[in-house]
Amino acid sequence: MTTTHCPYCSLQCGMRLTGRRTPEVSAWEEFPVNRGALCRKGWSAAGLYGSRERLTSPLVRDRATGEWMAVTWDDALDRVAAGIRAAQAEKGPDGVAVFGGGGLTNEKAYSLGKFARVALGTSQIDYNGRWCMSSAASAGIRAFGLDRGLPFPLADVEEADVLVLVGSNLAETMPPAARHLDRLRARGGRVVVIDPRRTPTGDRADLVLQPVPGTDLALALGVLHLLVASGAVDEDYLAARTTGWADVRDSVAAWWPERVERVTGIEASEVRALAAMVGGPEARSARTPTTPSERPKVMVLTARGAEQHSTGSDTVLAWINVALALGMVGERGGGYGCLTGQGNGQGGREHGQKADQLPGYRRIDDPAARAHVAGVWGVEPDSLPGPGRSAYELLDACGTDDGPSAMLVLGSNIVVSAPNATQVTRRLEALDLLVVCDVVMSETAAIADVVLPVTQWAEETGTMTNLEGRVILRQKAITPPSGVRSDLDVIAGLAARLASPVEFATDPEEVFTELGRASEGGPADYSTITYDRIRDEGGVFWGGERLFGSTFAHPDGRARMYAVEHRGAAEVPDDDYPIHLTTGRVLAQYQSGAQTRRVRALPDDGPFVELHPSLAGRLGVVTGDQVRISTRRGSMTAPARVVTTIRPDTVFVPFHWVGTNRLTNDALDPASKMPEFKVCAASLVHVPLV
């Protein structure tokens, strides 16, 4: 029996596995994050094994015929190395790009970043985590000087008096976490859910607000306006622990509830109800400042619904301002956090697979950081490239005159998960060489030139960092099929063929030790964490269990407050596209579905279009009818689901299947480069049976 962790989301629930080839999942009651609870994805995770679709030999595609040919590993790696050399001979080091993933272990993310900067010498590396929580990461760094999704254990949620969930459907996306909501409410706490749809999370809430998609920022401004007006802000805290408050206070002066109602569609009375709830009972009466002990502990958590917008970073900053104004950040049971999505969404953004970053969450343009990391790697600081393009910008440059002509993809199914996916797929097809490491023939692997079959999840050991900043160890539990290799082997094999000036370790623990040295002294410092400590302690928080109790990570120890403005979505409904489209997840599927769609125990019903009865009535649509949804970028047909739980002006489509992201908008947040997955303008028509 091996203790390990779920292959999917950022909760990284603990579980036990028995059996060396076809494992069985059982509860690991002692692991504190989930205490034995798993969602149906976790319970069925062993279904990832035994699939006939598992790739066990490197494959090369003949572009003329489209046929695949099995080749040896040596042949495959030689071909990839030759393709890389050809691309770089033509275009220089940046002729080759690397695309990683937020599901890769810390060791893989670290090695991939090092491989790009040292073995390839390219600046062109980024990853799909850019599309996950980068807006919250950007806002956290600006506000607190540090980005750790939750700067406290998830269980602290239970100690909040008021929990405000902005754009999170955690009851479906990470069901074991919903137990914290239940306990919070059992002790008298209240939950607020802000989401254009009423979801199972909303069913656990005391107040559900359903704003127009893309207007969460305006709602935060309106709440802060009311907190100021009622004297509910903590002036002592603001004076002692923050900078920028005066500008922020002035910036919300004109955000009366009636104006908020016009922008967000939320009634002014409900905006007042939310402000009263977070400001405490006294906030509703005379302008008598409350004392900290009288105030409710307020916790604000954002997730993709708030973050995946062209205004995502500012939206998060606006909600951070609310938490800071209440004096809650650093208070146990209060504050602000981001519910990261991907399994290693946190660690994946710390160790150098981001375009602008070196290990330890260091900036790649920081001379001291470059000197430190170069020293660990045994190269000259000047030999390291500078920052490259962000994920979407990188993909959009593929095959262009000044973009890369070869790309290596690990841990990402871009064809399904990229915004404006038709355009992105075209760009991938314009590459001279596309190499994909995967366990199955994913939609992205299917258009590659070379596919390298790699080990997955319980077939290998490695660390992940969950949404709390808790570094955990996924231990190898089963024997991989012959013919597959670890991503670490692929990186080392290619580095050797490319005459890398340094070697790449293939043993995960050895890589982790090196990662620790490279991260030492950085914002995310892993230098004191070891595999033994993780085993002994059941996980280790980097930076400590709780952050910001007495100081923030900026040099002056204060949090920064920014006066942000409501700008709205990049694309709003008009005569041609009169409704909002928003996207998200369903309980039984995970991300691009490359894994979960192949687990037989999980229902794979395909995409659907959720719409309100009033819209359905106008179109003459009932549940089960086929509808065609179109945006300026593409269209798809799917069955309708008529529900009363969505706004009448909005439709929802889950994104686990090909098609949904052909519709979504590639407008980017200027700070984080997050695409606007969560809202665009769409049209809908009934497709009658013929």
- Where do contacts with ligand SF4 occur on this chain (CB under 6 A)? 6, 8-9, 11-13, 34, 38-39, 41-42, 174-176
Q: Least distance to ligand SF4 from the beta carbon of 38, Å?
A: 4
Rounded CA separation 340/237 (Å): 28
Q: Least distance to ligand SF4 from the beta carbon of 409, Å?
A: 23
Q: Least distance to ligand SF4 from the beta carbon of 13, Å?
A: 3
- For ligand SF4, give the closer residue by CB, 6 or 160: 6
- For ligand SF4, give the closer residue by CB, 6 or 166: 6
CB 100 within 8 A of CB 109: yes
Residue (of 577, 648, 652, 580) closest to 613 by Cα position:
648
Q: Least distance to ligand SF4 from the beta carbon of 286, Å?
A: 45
Burial class (CB in 10 A: 0-12, 13-18, 19+), 647: buried
Q: Least distance to ligand SF4 from the beta carbon of 12, Å?
A: 5
CB 283 within 8 A of CB 290: yes
The per-residue b/e assignment along 389-427, b for 16 or more CB within 10 angstroms, e otherwise, is bbbbbbbbbbbeeebbbbbbbbbbbbbbbbbbbebbbeb
Q: Least distance to ligand SF4 from the beta carbon of 210, Å?
A: 25
Structure tokens of 544? 């400590």
Residue (of 423, 418, 417, 396) closest to 633 by Cα position:
423
Q: Least distance to ligand SF4 from the beta carbon of 5, Å?
A: 7
Rounded CA separation 576/437 (Å): 41
Q: Least distance to ligand SF4 from the beta carbon of 170, Å?
A: 9
Q: Residues 414, 416, 417, 421: what is their CA dihedral angle, to the nearest 10 degrees?
A: 80
- For ligand SF4, give the closer residue by CB, 275 or 339: 339
Q: Which residues does 318 contact at the CB level (< 8 Å), separation at least 6?
A: 216, 217, 220, 221, 224, 564
CB 533 within 8 A of CB 524: no
- For ligand SF4, give the closer residue by CB, 342 or 630: 342
- For ligand SF4, give the closer residue by CB, 38 or 498: 38
CB 162 within 8 A of CB 192: yes
- For ligand SF4, give the closer residue by CB, 172 or 393: 172
Q: Least distance to ligand SF4 from the beta carbon of 45, Å?
A: 7
Q: Least distance to ligand SF4 from the beta carbon of 475, Å?
A: 16
- For ligand SF4, give the closer residue by CB, 180 or 225: 180
- For ligand SF4, give the closer residue by CB, 44 or 527: 44
- For ligand SF4, give the closer residue by CB, 103 or 305: 103
- For ligand SF4, give the closer residue by CB, 76 or 154: 154
- For ligand SF4, give the closer residue by CB, 176 or 508: 176
- For ligand SF4, give the closer residue by CB, 43 or 73: 43
Q: Least distance to ligand SF4 from the beta carbon of 334, Å?
A: 24
- For ligand SF4, give the closer residue by CB, 11 or 473: 11
Beta strands in 89-180 (DSSP E): 96-100, 125-127, 162-166
Q: Least distance to ligand SF4 from the beta carbon of 9, Å?
A: 3
- Report angle CA 559, 560, 563 to the nearest 5 degrees: 145
The per-residue b/e assignment along 62-73, b for 16 or more CB within 10 angstroms, e otherwise, is eeeeeeeeebeb
Residue (of 19, 17, 32, 1) closest to 468 by Cα position:
32
Rounded CA separation 669/134 (Å): 10
Phi, psi (5° rounding) for residue 564? -105, 155
Report the residue closest to ligand SF4, judged by CB: 42
Q: Least distance to ligand SF4 from the beta carbon of 465, Å?
A: 13
Residue (of 28, 83, 79) closest to 472 by Cα position:
28
CA-to-CA dists, residue 397 to 11, 400, 633, angstroms? 34, 6, 18
Q: Least distance to ligand SF4 from the beta carbon of 285, Å?
A: 42
- For ligand SF4, give the closer residue by CB, 6 or 116: 6
Q: At which residue do the structure tokens 């007495």 appear?
A: 550
- How do beta strands 406-410 and 96-100 pair? parallel
Q: Least distance to ligand SF4 from the beta carbon of 340, Å?
A: 11
Helix, strand, or coil (residue 244)? coil
Helix, strand, or coil (residue 16)? strand
Phi, psi (5° rounding) for residue 8? -105, -105
Q: Least distance to ligand SF4 from the beta carbon of 190, Å?
A: 24
Rounded CA separation 396/394 (Å): 5
Residue (of 14, 116, 590) closest to 108 by Cα position:
116
The letter for the amino acid at 196 is: P
- For ligand SF4, give the closer residue by CB, 277 or 478: 478
- For ligand SF4, give the closer residue by CB, 26 or 530: 26
- Report angle CA 435, 436, 437 to the nearest 5 degrees: 125
